[in-house]
Structure 1
Amino acid sequence: MLFSKKGPKKINYKYKDNLKKKFFDTHTILYISKKTGKTHIFHIPGILPPFILLVSTSILTIAILMTANYIINMKTTLELENLRDESLGLQSEVEALNSKIRNIQDTVNQVNYYSDKIKKVTTRSDDRKSGTNSKSTSQNESIIPSGIGPLTKEEYEISNKVTGLKYESLELKSLFDIAQESEFRTSKQLEDLKHFLVEAQKNALKLQSIPDIAPVRGRLTSTFGWRVSPFSGQGRIHFGLDIAAPKGSPIYATANGIVLRVSQSDDFGKFIEIIHEKKMVTRYAHTSIIYAKEGAKIKKGDIIAAVGNTGHSTGPHVHYEIEVNGKKHDPENFIVLW
Structure 2
Amino acid sequence: MLFSKDNKKKHNYKYENKSKSSLFDKDTVLFVSKKTGKTHIFRIPSFIPLLIILLTSTLITISATMTVIYINMKRDALELEHIRDESLGLKSEVEALHSKMRNIQSTVNQVTYYSEKIRKVTTRTDDRKGGASRKTSEQNQNQDFNQNGIGPLTKEEFEISNKVTGLKYESLELKSLFDLAQESQLKSSKQLEELKKFLVEAQKAALKLQSIPDIAPVRGRLTSSFGWRISPFGGPGRIHFGVDIAARIGTPIYATANGTVLRVNRSEDYGKFVELIHEKKMVTRYAHTSAIYVKEGAKVKKGDVIGAVGNTGHSTGSHVHYEIEMNGKKQDPENFIVLW
Q: Same fold (TM over 0.5)?
A: yes
- How far did residue 114 of structure 1 move? 1.0
Q: Deviations over 1:72-130 (max 9, x none)?
A: 11111111111111111111112221111111111111111111111111122111149
Find the residue that maps to 1:138 and give its secondary structure.
Answer: coil
CA distance in 2, matches of 1:38, 1:306: 150
Identity of matched residues, %: 68
Contact 2:159 2:168 in 1 (8 A): no
Q: What TM-score do the two structures reach when normalised by structure 2? A: 0.83
Partner of 1:13: none
1:191 partner letter: E
CA distance in 1, matches of 2:307, 2:217: 10
Residues 122 and 150 of structure 1: CA distance in aligned 2, closer, same or farther (over 3 Å): closer
Q: Over aligned residues, Cα RMSD in angstroms?
A: 2.4
Contact 1:113 1:145 in 2 (8 A): no
Residues 289 and 171 of structure 1: CA distance in aligned 2, closer, same or farther (over 3 Å): same
Q: Which of structure 1's runs of 4+ aligned residues deviate more than 6 A?
A: 130-133, 159-162
The within-5 A match list for 1:97-176 is 97-129=97-129, 134-135=136-137, 137-139=138-140, 141=141, 143-148=142-147, 163-164=161-162, 165-176=167-178
Partner of 1:48: 48
1:257 aligns with 2:256: no
- How far did residue 170 of structure 1 move? 1.3
CA distance in 1, matches of 2:275, 2:182: 59
2:193 partner letter: E
Contact 1:266 1:312 in 2 (8 A): yes
Q: Deviations over 1:277-300 (max 9, x none)?
A: 101000001111111111110100
Is there any run of 5+ residues in structure 1 with no aligned partner, and where?
Answer: 1-24
Residues 199 and 208 of structure 1: CA distance in aligned 2, closer, same or farther (over 3 Å): same
CA distance in 2, matches of 1:63, 1:134: 94
CA distance in 1, matches of 2:207, 2:35: 121
- How far did residue 149 of structure 1 move? 5.4
* Equivalent of residue 192 in structure 1, options 191, 194, 217: 194
- How far did residue 150 of structure 1 move? 8.2
- How far did residue 313 of structure 1 move? 1.2
- How far did residue 148 of structure 1 move? 4.1
Partner of 2:64: 64
Find the residue that maps to 1:255 and give its secondary structure.
Answer: coil
2:314 partner letter: H
Find the residue that maps to 1:128 and give its secondary structure.
Answer: coil
Partner of 1:300: 302
CA distance in 2, matches of 1:78, 1:127: 75
1:288 aligns with 2:290: yes
Partner of 1:5: none
Partner of 2:206: 204
Residues 113 and 150 of structure 1: CA distance in aligned 2, closer, same or farther (over 3 Å): closer
